[in-house]
Chain A
């Protein structure tokens, strides 16, 4: 049986009153620039084995989040204007809002920005803590009781360590943060390369 079902997570209203949770929220939602390397696992219903990818994640206040995949040079830019795909030659393509990828990727941006108030509008939030770690569950409102949360965010101390996105009851995407730096001073050419041009 999944751990989540056993855990009986604490709802958001109670988390807000807990000083330690407040500290975690403040740390992960701080509006600062961040850089991290990540490992991504994609699972498809028609493949026997997941697809494993590695990438770099950048976050710059006001510019959103950028995911870069060195294998094929693709970049996904997620910001207030939507999701933009940039290929290795620098050609851009917007991902339509109605596309099925748009929702999960925008959710990812919300999680990485960790605006609790905004997330609370989209999901029911609950959480649980162990000695050194913590787990947040972001569930679609009115989900069936036996359906797991749509997004699970796992953290260690005051950092996000893993994000899992589920769909139709099955885990679809997992992002594991393997190296993270905060308050990174990105040079202008790097910002131009990995974020949307004005």
Chain B
């Protein structure tokens, strides 16, 4: 085939590839397939039932809650309740919220208390009877009393003791109906552990329709709150607003990440251009590598969206790594080599180019077998991007027909390094320092490092949560089951374990409103044993100085309940209460469909939880996931590194020791330096190291190829390494901890590899 024909065919192939990729991405509405939802990082499926449950809760119930506090400094002794009612109404009208309640306007807790009081016999009595029976069974020595007589004595004594409680004046009105204190004790347990909000604050609780982790739950929700606040201010111009929700934190983080990434990318490009201008005689020709990078990214996006219906935004961010490798292919092919044929630029570098691409593809392809979706997406993205970059670079240089980038003289010049014992001493010292630094390495997996820190927003978040919950720092647990009975049993096991712990804790949950199914079924039988109880109880009360006539409402209710102790089925207890479980109360349990669950809170964490209950600190769960990501990535990296070693040994035999020394030394240096800097490592250091390792292999392979007399790779290696170091060096200044981690690791590794390529005997520059 003639060369002009080859060039035209290459151009047609490039164009066809670009058109096919762009056509696919446009037809699939590429932007809508990029997910910003952190929960998409969670692996789905039966292998991770707890994570799936947490994902549901985080997405559907807890995370959609918005908490708003209003104050009017012009009226410091009064809560602006009517403004809160206006704001809640505006939120409901906005169409962005499923629920919006002014807590002063709608006292859902009082409504629930009234309902539970009215149905106390069927809801609270069964478990109360079961607990009393258990106490009776454990009495030692066993009393010479029937259960009925003991219960009468014990209940009267409990009531008498309760009258000394400071809150007795408050509930005395219900005692004639409830001398067993079923409702009083339940409400005492459910009451918040700390103070109610200050008198000058009005609170609004709302739940958005869309998930706050997606764009639809961020900007529209924020706008609706701003507009509702403007409405509320019409009557009170001095009104102030504090609000929080995952919506706000996620939006702030996303906005700042977008701004930061735009600035960093601009600086990164400037840094690459700066380095290139220093190295090339005609710097503007660096734009020849841009089509290769663009086609590499297009290929990667096309393949990834072909394989995955949704791609996480982190893949986009980490996908920038691909540019670093794709640029290198362009440099290696387009910088002329002293011992190569200028008319056939590809021939002289084809072997090292294929070898380096093969080793990198081999390394990243291992990510495809990961259980974690992000790593799989990254694997497909990088592998397809690398292959696209290689094909695009070969086609582009073919259609160009020449090595387009001419380096300045100094780019090829050898650097003076001390030789002999001095170099051995320096390398020895560097190894010692690296080993010492590496021994100081620690891991920290914190999902908060994915976002730009927003201390002001987090302070406001703490303040508003404390107004709603009494405290921002309580541990949240979730008891779940496939039936309502299973979920309630799971909570009961957890409660028993908590109150019997060495340091007992009383978990607080709305689950306590309902009896366990066993207690509920057992209650009618127990009641048949208690036919004497009303008379014994009345007699005991009278002996202890109570006016028995005032308890007539209780004895009537008891008789009515004994006549029909069970109405409907067990699940109907829950169904009938659902209408009054609104607002914040409704977000604390899920009674609509399986899996059913109850949230409970505890003042402090428990060392262990029972079957069916899990700690649902979302942060802890996601941090745990981060650790799994890191462990999985580390395992796969090590396997990948092992395969790379085998591949290099097979391909380069005699030169393989030097080739392997360069990435290994660079890796040791980078982690040693990070250890000395005291920076705890995370998943992104690991991913950066993986990329840096692949790049180091490239430099080592190209320098070995030169040693074999095939090419003079020095300018291309230097240009590749320094442009990569410049662009990732800029990223290391990012305010987003994970981006900074990625940038600093790649920079250190690439610079370490470059130094080793330059100093190790027998390399390209010697």
B134 contacts the other chain (CB 8 A): no
B195 contacts the other chain (CB 8 A): yes
A37 contacts the other chain (CB 8 A): no
For B528, what are the chain A residues with a Cβ–Cβ distance below 8 Å? none
B170 touches A95 (CB 8 A): yes
Alpha-carbon separation in the docked complex, A41 to B276 (Å) = 90
B188 touches A47 (CB 8 A): no
For A51, what are the chain B residues with a Cβ–Cβ distance below 8 Å? 163-164, 168
Alpha-carbon separation in the docked complex, A49 to B547 (Å) = 10
Stretch at the interface among B125-133, B171-179, B593-601, B699-707: B171-179
B371 contacts the other chain (CB 8 A): no
B166 touches A74 (CB 8 A): yes
Q: Contact partner of A94 among B107, B169, B191, B545, CB < 8 A?
A: B191
Stretch at the interface among A2-10, A77-85, A180-188: A77-85
What is the size category of the interface that chain B forms with chain A? 20 to 34
Identify which of A96, A97, A98 gathers the most chain B CB atoms within 10 Å of its CB. Answer: A96
Q: Which residue of A lies closest to B169 (CB)?
A: A101
For B169, what are the chain A residues with a Cβ–Cβ distance below 8 Å? 42, 100-101, 104-105, 172-173
Alpha-carbon separation in the docked complex, A95 to B194 (Å) = 9
Alpha-carbon separation in the docked complex, A97 to B167 (Å) = 12
For B193, what are the chain A residues with a Cβ–Cβ distance below 8 Å? 91-94
B3 contacts the other chain (CB 8 A): no
Alpha-carbon separation in the docked complex, A116 to B175 (Å) = 36
A49 touches B164 (CB 8 A): no
Q: What's the nearest-Cβ distance from chain A to residue B170, in Å?
A: 3
For B167, what are the chain A residues with a Cβ–Cβ distance below 8 Å? 85, 95, 99, 101
For B165, what are the chain A residues with a Cβ–Cβ distance below 8 Å? 72, 74
Q: What's the nearest-Cβ distance from chain B to residue A176, in Å?
A: 17
For window 546-562 of B, CB contacts with A under 8 Å fall at: 546-547, 550-551
Alpha-carbon separation in the docked complex, A88 to B193 (Å) = 15
Alpha-carbon separation in the docked complex, A51 to B169 (Å) = 11
Q: How many A-B residue pairs have CB under 8 A?
A: 98
B439 contacts the other chain (CB 8 A): no
B551 touches A94 (CB 8 A): no
B192 contacts the other chain (CB 8 A): yes
A111 contacts the other chain (CB 8 A): no
Q: What's the nearest-Cβ distance from chain B to residue A138, in Å?
A: 17
Q: Contact partner of A97 among B168, B196, B546, CB < 8 A?
A: B196
Interface string of B113-145 (1 = CB under 8 A from A): 000000000000000000000000000000000
Q: Which residue of A lies closest to B603 (CB)?
A: A91
B563 contacts the other chain (CB 8 A): no
Q: Contact partner of B170 among A84, A101, A196, CB < 8 A?
A: A101
A53 contacts the other chain (CB 8 A): yes
Q: What's the nearest-Cβ distance from chain B to residue A103, in Å?
A: 9
B188 touches A93 (CB 8 A): yes
For A84, what are the chain B residues with a Cβ–Cβ distance below 8 Å? 194-195
Alpha-carbon separation in the docked complex, A5 to B164 (Å) = 32
Identify which of B109, B110, B165, B196 gathers the most chain A CB atoms within 10 Å of its CB. Answer: B196
B470 contacts the other chain (CB 8 A): yes
Alpha-carbon separation in the docked complex, A51 to B170 (Å) = 15
For B470, what are the chain A residues with a Cβ–Cβ distance below 8 Å? 94
B198 contacts the other chain (CB 8 A): yes
A94 touches B163 (CB 8 A): no
Q: Which residue of A lies closest to B470 (CB)?
A: A94
B196 touches A71 (CB 8 A): no
A69 contacts the other chain (CB 8 A): yes
Q: What's the nearest-Cβ distance from chain A to residue B285, in Å?
A: 67
Alpha-carbon separation in the docked complex, A104 to B194 (Å) = 20
A47 touches B545 (CB 8 A): yes
Q: What's the nearest-Cβ distance from chain A to residue B550, in Å?
A: 4
Alpha-carbon separation in the docked complex, A105 to B167 (Å) = 9
Q: What's the nearest-Cβ distance from chain A to residue B60, in Å?
A: 29
For window 456-492 of B, CB contacts with A under 8 Å fall at: 470
Interface string of B489-501 (1 = CB under 8 A from A): 0000000000000
Alpha-carbon separation in the docked complex, A99 to B166 (Å) = 12
Alpha-carbon separation in the docked complex, A48 to B173 (Å) = 16
Alpha-carbon separation in the docked complex, A49 to B163 (Å) = 12
B166 touches A94 (CB 8 A): no
Q: Contact partner of A46 among B166, B172, B188, CB < 8 A?
A: B172
For window 70-114 of B, CB contacts with A under 8 Å fall at: 107, 109-110
Q: Contact partner of B166 among A44, A76, A100, CB < 8 A?
A: A76
For B188, what are the chain A residues with a Cβ–Cβ distance below 8 Å? 93
Q: What's the nearest-Cβ distance from chain A to residue B631, in Å?
A: 39
A67 contacts the other chain (CB 8 A): yes
Q: Contact partner of A196 among B195, B546, B550, B551, CB < 8 A?
A: B195
A129 contacts the other chain (CB 8 A): no
Alpha-carbon separation in the docked complex, A92 to B192 (Å) = 9
Contact A67:B166 (CB < 8 A) given known A44-B172, A46-B546, A46-B551:
yes
Q: Which residue of A lies closest to B198 (CB)?
A: A81
B166 touches A85 (CB 8 A): yes
A102 contacts the other chain (CB 8 A): yes
For B109, what are the chain A residues with a Cβ–Cβ distance below 8 Å? 96
B546 touches A47 (CB 8 A): yes
For A99, what are the chain B residues with a Cβ–Cβ distance below 8 Å? 167, 170-171
Q: Contact partner of B107 among A42, A81, A98, CB < 8 A?
A: A98
Alpha-carbon separation in the docked complex, A53 to B168 (Å) = 13
Q: What's the nearest-Cβ distance from chain B to residue A43, in Å?
A: 10
A94 touches B196 (CB 8 A): yes
Alpha-carbon separation in the docked complex, A44 to B170 (Å) = 11
For A74, what are the chain B residues with a Cβ–Cβ distance below 8 Å? 164-166
Q: Contact partner of A93 among B161, B168, B191, B198, CB < 8 A?
A: B191
Alpha-carbon separation in the docked complex, A102 to B167 (Å) = 8
B198 touches A53 (CB 8 A): no
Alpha-carbon separation in the docked complex, A80 to B195 (Å) = 10
Alpha-carbon separation in the docked complex, A100 to B113 (Å) = 14
A45 contacts the other chain (CB 8 A): yes
Q: What's the nearest-Cβ distance from chain A to residue B79, in Å?
A: 10
Alpha-carbon separation in the docked complex, A98 to B106 (Å) = 13
For B547, what are the chain A residues with a Cβ–Cβ distance below 8 Å? 45-48
Q: Contact partner of B546 among A48, A71, A102, A172, CB < 8 A?
A: A48
For window 660-678 of B, CB contacts with A under 8 Å fall at: none
Alpha-carbon separation in the docked complex, A102 to B170 (Å) = 7
Q: Which residue of B lies closest to A67 (CB)?
A: B166
For B107, what are the chain A residues with a Cβ–Cβ distance below 8 Å? 98
Contact A82:B164 (CB < 8 A) given known A46-B176, A46-B546:
no
Contact A94:B192 (CB < 8 A) given known A48-B545, A49-B545:
yes
Contact A44:B163 (CB < 8 A) given known A98-B110, A100-B173, A172-B169:
yes
Alpha-carbon separation in the docked complex, A46 to B162 (Å) = 13
For B506, what are the chain A residues with a Cβ–Cβ distance below 8 Å? 91
List 11 other contacts, CB 8 Å, given A96-B109, A100-B171, A100-B173.
Answer: A42-B163, A44-B163, A46-B546, A46-B551, A47-B163, A72-B164, A76-B166, A91-B506, A95-B191, A96-B192, A100-B169
For the complex of A and B, list the 9 residue pairs with the smallest distance between their C-beta atoms, beginning with the closest: A101-B170, A46-B550, A100-B170, A81-B195, A76-B166, A99-B170, A101-B169, A48-B545, A51-B163
Q: List 15 A-B contacts (CB under 8 A).
A: A42-B169, A44-B168, A44-B175, A45-B547, A46-B546, A81-B195, A81-B198, A85-B167, A91-B506, A92-B193, A93-B192, A93-B193, A99-B170, A100-B172, A104-B169
Chain A contacts to B: CB under 8 angstroms: 42, 44-49, 51, 53, 67, 69, 71-72, 74, 76, 80-82, 84-85, 91-102, 104-105, 172-173, 196
